[in-house]
Structure 1
């Protein structure tokens, strides 16, 4: 399912998850557990986030800068009367910076204690992969590897699955310095 140009609410993300579970019950998938990922791009790099960690995917919102915030924090955004810090993964991952475009999206992470948003260049689709296909041995030659839980080769490209807890630890550490 392509997500280009669309905004998914919690209900729509839940519907995707229910559809997956129903197909498993119908015997369409093997009994091996699946992982559902929202895939997106930061520059030329392809990443995924576990669908269960996402609250909503929103179009670009107005960003209010916060004086004294770490350089990874673009500011805060107001989404449906809730305020979320917005993280710039380009800076954190030391990627070439890019300005937001019409394809840019804010992915709001539904973390129990610290919900936040990340700015992505574009979302691509929701992918269902088998748990056993995820490679937990991440290439450590790149600084990005500190923020990746696993990698998987899909469509002849490597996709890194984000480690949300590692991103939060980095932000917390940057705020203390």
Structure 2
């Protein structure tokens, strides 16, 4: 069983046809797409940096991080700004949908299957209204060593 207990709020977003959730306590804001500045020698999944209200913020393309097929950005694409260990990072997603609450009893342990997304990135699988929501471990997804080099 997952270590998640009680009721937790998650920001839910979509990549392809899958729903993912990030603990709302890590989310600062959700932004529309803006121009990226590429960073030389950054990992391939780092899209670049953006200027967010005077701050330079690195942006990770979650499609590339999860080794999914690249897709053109569109009007639904969003950048979710998160704080992890005092580092501000942007997460590029296909769309952001809502904030939901999930009870700890509605969260199962991650599956022991290695396919597109590494199980290391998953905290658990939330169930709500018949939908499955992959709850990601934002610290592991970000990979601090790589991001500290960019920021």
Instruction: Give the TM-score, by structure 1 length.
Output: 0.74
The aligned residue for residue 101 of structure 2 is: 128
CA RMSD of aligned residues (A): 1.9
Match of 2:87? 114
Work out which of the residue numbers 17, 37, 41 in structure 2 matches 1:64: 37
More strand by share: 2
* Larger proportion of helix: 1
**C-alpha deviations, 1:109-133, integer Å up to 9, x for none?**
1123322000011011111111221
Higher gyration radius (CA): 1
- Structure 2: gaps of 5 or more residues: none
SS at match of 2:87: coil
Q: Distance in 1 between matches of 2:26 and 2:96?
A: 15
Instruction: State the structure with bigger RCO (CA 8 A, min sep 6), 1 or 2.
Output: 2
TM-score normalised over the length of structure 2 = 0.86
Indicate the residue corresponding to 2:11 in structure 1.
38
Q: How far, CA to CA, are the matches of 2:58 and 2:34 in structure 1?
A: 12
Runs of 4+ deviating beyond 4 Å:
none
Aligned-pair CA distance for 1:170 = 7.2
Structure 1 window deviating more from structure 2 (160-169 vs 101-110): it is 160-169
